Chain A
Amino acid sequence: DAGVIQSPRHEVTEMGQEVTLRCKPISGHDYLFWYRQTMMRGLELLIYFNNNVPIDDSGMPEDRFSAKMPNASFSTLKIQPSEPRDSAVYFCASSLAGRETQYFGPGTRLLVL
């Protein structure tokens, strides 16, 4: 059974460029979460979806960040334009309604130069 899949695993880009991170949740899961992890701020919840609908985006740092979930098996997190302070590891996680356990993907390590 495949877990949460994220791509790319590593991304190096220059300041000002657009970055798109991708996530495929576990099949059948109806919740999807995007987190950001940095040394300074730890693990932060950015946004989460239920049945493809954004429920809480209060953690999205700025308008430069946007997330979509066009269907139950795919979500994107986009940063446009990217800045060096966006450098972090971005995790996607999914869960099933009524089950509190979240299953994390391996993360995307983003470096913005």
Chain B
Amino acid sequence: AQSVTQLGSHVSVSEGALVLLRCNYSSSVPPYLFWYVQYPNQGLQLLLKYTSAATLVKGINGFEAEFKKSETSFHLTKPSAHMSDAAEYFCAVRGNSASKIIFGSGTRLSIRP
């Protein structure tokens, strides 16, 4: 069965600092992996996705994630945090059904001025 584990329910960084949100996956088939972002009082929005092409995936708002099969990881990074990045971030993996997605528990990112 497919699953994801997000390490750290809350991450706080200073504005301008590196953002690193950790995600490890488990999948019995080649994984399709996603990062979604949820801003306050809004629905989830796709940040980026990995579908077995390039291992370094670039997304919106300057975020990127690297697929590392040997580490079963798909960590999300951004070189320089901005106040507008404050949100909840969800890592996800495609489930057994091609259209079903399994979401992680989420990581809340706070940005300190």
A binding-site residues for B, Cβ under 8 Å:
4, 31, 42-43, 45, 48, 50, 55-56, 91, 93, 95, 97-98, 100-107
In the complex, the answer to whether A43 meets B32 with C-beta atoms within 8 Å is no
Q: Which of B34, B44, B51, B94 has the most CB of A within 10 A?
A: B44
In B52-110, the 8 Å CB interface with A consists of 90, 94, 97-101, 103, 105-106
Please give, as numbers and ranges, the residues of chain B lying within 8 Å of A50 by CB-CB distance: 99
A85 to chain B, nearest CB (A): 19
**B106 touching A91 by the CB < 8 A rule?**
no
User: What is the distance, in angstroms, from A15's C-beta to the closest C-beta of chain B?
Assistant: 25
For the complex, give the distance between the alpha carbons of A28 and B35 in Å.
24
Q: B19-50: contact bitstring with A at CB < 8 Å (1 yes, 0 no)?
A: 00000000000001010000001111110010
Residues A56 and B106 in contact in the complex (CB < 8 Å), given A43-B90, A105-B43, A107-B43: no
The A interface, classified by DSSP as helix, strand, loop or mixed, is: strand
9 A-B pairs with CB atoms under 8 Å apart are A42-B103, A43-B103, A43-B106, A48-B100, A91-B44, A100-B51, A100-B94, A100-B99, A101-B49
How far, in angstroms, from A98 to B94 measured CA to CA in the complex? 12
